[in-house]
Amino acid sequence: MADELTKGLEGVLAAESELSSIDGDAGRLIYRGYDIEDLAAEASFEEVLFLLWRGHLPTRAELDDFTDAMADERAVDDAVVETIRSLAAADEAPMAAMRTAVSMLSATDTDADAAADDRDAARRKARRIVAKTPTILAAYDRVRRDEEPIDPDPTLGLAANFLYMLTGEEPDAVAAETFDQALILHADHGLNASTFTAMVVGSTMADMYSAVTAGVGALSGPLHGGANQDVMEVLFEIEESDLDPREWVEQATDEGRRIPGFGHRVYNVKDPRAKILQARSEELAANGDDTWYEITTAIESYLTDEKGLVEKGIAPNVDFYSGSVYYQLGIPIDMYTPIFAMSRTGGWTAHVLEYQADNRLIRPRGRYIGPDAREYVAIDER
């Protein structure tokens, strides 16, 4: 068994966690025992962060203190802002800019030199990273559009504040609640590639900034993040064509094109997060442009009812509806993966904190398949 090879570590148990659980056959996701539908409907993103980091839902007093502490950490140092300006001027990709800026946050952290086993310092670093990441991303997008960054508003929740810093306008209740739900849905999802990467780095007892920077790097790869941007680009293509959505998809699939947003490594049925975002997309459409909701639902209907993909274990995932939801909220499409990362910093840091509490260096083996013993030949004799 020790020598059995599982490419991609699929199905391999590498750790135990109390944070999240996925039932791919039932289409169920839970955070610390709470169903994602209940949390998305009733909780705030800050409440879910508290749950992931502390292990229980907060009381009103605990949540107020926690929310205030998060709001107090939102501002970033001028040196970080200047770096963001340089990255924007260089036309750096948003995820690469995020990776650099998150790494730089450690330069101004008062806990930067804390001992590796200082758990309280690690928790404070986690709080600062999650609080400051929205400020970094909003500032980057504004600067590249030749607009000045907007200071955080401590009276707004994390989700509403991000939309305010991004657009310059305080979002209405529907937009704020929708984005807050989206952050909750993306906060954690088991040992996915970026979470596992952050844990591997954390297992060396590296600091939280190193672990999260590594997580950002892993999420930047097209096989992990970016599918919601791909979905939106397909929706644009359909909207600009002379075909209705079903005809377009039929033609595309006949040509061998893959429709982004369908299929998942874990879910064999419709992603529960997709169901929630579909409902939010419908609500946003009722208050504005229904183009994107109509196209996405038509695509899903065709691929499920006529092509029968669900029976084959291929169903809509969270990216299929998150792209159009973000677009309706006024978020640029190349910011979709950074938005994913902004939310997932909560899960990354939670997993690092959990793993480091009972740490063991993650060190798998690789099977050598190279040549057997060779005789060395001096360079002048080759």
- Chain segment 326-338, per-residue pLDDT in tens: 999 999 999 999 9
Task: Tell me what pLDDT residue 303 has.
Answer: 86
249 and 204 part of one domain: no
319 is catalytic: yes
Question: Is 307 domain-assigned?
Answer: yes
Task: Tell me what pLDDT residue 310 has.
Answer: 65
pLDDT band at 311 (very low <50, low <70, confident <90, very high): low
Task: Tell me what pLDDT residue 314 has.
Answer: 77
288 and 323 part of one domain: yes
111 and 215 part of one domain: yes
Do 172 and 116 touch, CB atoms closer than 8 A?
no
126 and 183 part of one domain: yes
Do 135 and 152 touch, CB atoms closer than 8 A?
yes
Task: In whole angstroms, give the CA distance from residue 273 to residue 27.
Answer: 9
Write the CATH number for 74: 1.10.580.10
Which range among 4-8, 89-93, 195-199, 316-320 shows the weakest confidence by mean pLDDT? Answer: 4-8
Question: Is 2 domain-assigned?
Answer: no
254 is catalytic: no
Mean pLDDT to the nearest integer, 186-204: 96
Task: Tell me what pLDDT residue 8 has.
Answer: 83
Residue type, 267: Y
Task: Tell me what pLDDT residue 307 has.
Answer: 66
Mean pLDDT to the nearest integer, 118-126: 96
Secondary structure (3-state) at 31? strand
Task: Tell me what pLDDT residue 125 has.
Answer: 97
41 and 144 part of one domain: yes
Question: Is 8 domain-assigned?
Answer: no
Whether the per-residue pLDDT at 325 is higher than 80: the answer is yes
Instruction: Exactly one of 319, 351, 358, 372 is catalytic; name it.
Output: 319
Instruction: Exactly one of 186, 189, 264, 351 is catalytic; name it.
Output: 264
Whether the per-residue pLDDT at 1 is higher than 60: the answer is no
Mean pLDDT to the nearest integer, 213-235: 92
- Chain segment 58-93, per-residue pLDDT in tens: 999 999 999 999 999 999 999 999 999 999 999 999
Whether the per-residue pLDDT at 172 is higher than 80: the answer is yes
164 and 76 part of one domain: yes
187 and 104 part of one domain: yes
pLDDT above 90 covers a percentage of the chain that reads 78
Task: In whole angstroms, give the CA distance from residue 170 to residue 89.
Answer: 27
48 and 193 part of one domain: yes
Mean pLDDT to the nearest integer, 216-221: 95
**Could you give the C-alpha distances from 87 to 18, 50, 99, 222, in angstroms and in order?**
38, 32, 11, 21
Q: Structure pTM?
A: 0.93
153 and 294 part of one domain: no
Q: Structurally, how many domains does the chain consist of? A: 2
Do 134 and 158 touch, CB atoms closer than 8 A?
yes
207 and 239 part of one domain: no
Write the CATH number for 235: 1.10.230.10
Whether the per-residue pLDDT at 308 is higher than 70: the answer is no
Whether the per-residue pLDDT at 3 is higher than 80: the answer is no
The alpha carbon dihedral of 279, 285, 291, 292 has a sign of negative
Mean pLDDT to the nearest integer, 37-57: 97
DSSP assigned state of 34: E
Average pLDDT in the chain = 93
DSSP H helical ranges for the chain: 36-42, 45-54, 60-72, 78-89, 94-104, 119-144, 158-167, 173-186, 193-203, 208-219, 227-240, 245-254, 272-286, 291-301, 318-328, 336-357
Checking DSSP bridges between strand 34-35 and strand 28-31, what pairing results, if any? antiparallel
Question: Is 150 domain-assigned?
Answer: yes
Task: In whole angstroms, give the CA distance from residue 216 to residue 346.
Answer: 12
Mean pLDDT to the nearest integer, 242-265: 87
**Could you give the C-alpha distances from 375 to 367, 368, 370, 371, 378, in angstroms and in order?**
22, 18, 14, 11, 10
Place of tokens 């991609």: 8
Do 347 and 195 touch, CB atoms closer than 8 A?
yes
Task: Tell me what pLDDT residue 180 has.
Answer: 97
Question: Is 95 domain-assigned?
Answer: yes
Question: Is 380 domain-assigned?
Answer: no
Task: In whole angstroms, give the CA distance from residue 175 to residue 154.
Answer: 18
Q: Is 25 exposed, middle or buried (0-12, 13-18, 19+ CB in 10 A)?
A: exposed
Whether the per-residue pLDDT at 380 is higher than 80: the answer is yes
Domain that holds residue 138: 28-223+333-357
Question: Is 195 domain-assigned?
Answer: yes
- Chain segment 151-169, per-residue pLDDT in tens: 999 999 999 999 999 999 9
Question: Is 252 domain-assigned?
Answer: yes
pLDDT band at 23 (very low <50, low <70, confident <90, very high): very high
309 and 296 part of one domain: yes
Whether the per-residue pLDDT at 21 is higher than 60: the answer is yes
Task: Tell me what pLDDT residue 329 has.
Answer: 93
303 and 166 part of one domain: no
Task: Tell me what pLDDT residue 2 has.
Answer: 57
pLDDT band at 6 (very low <50, low <70, confident <90, very high): confident
Tokens representing residue 61 in the block: 């007093």
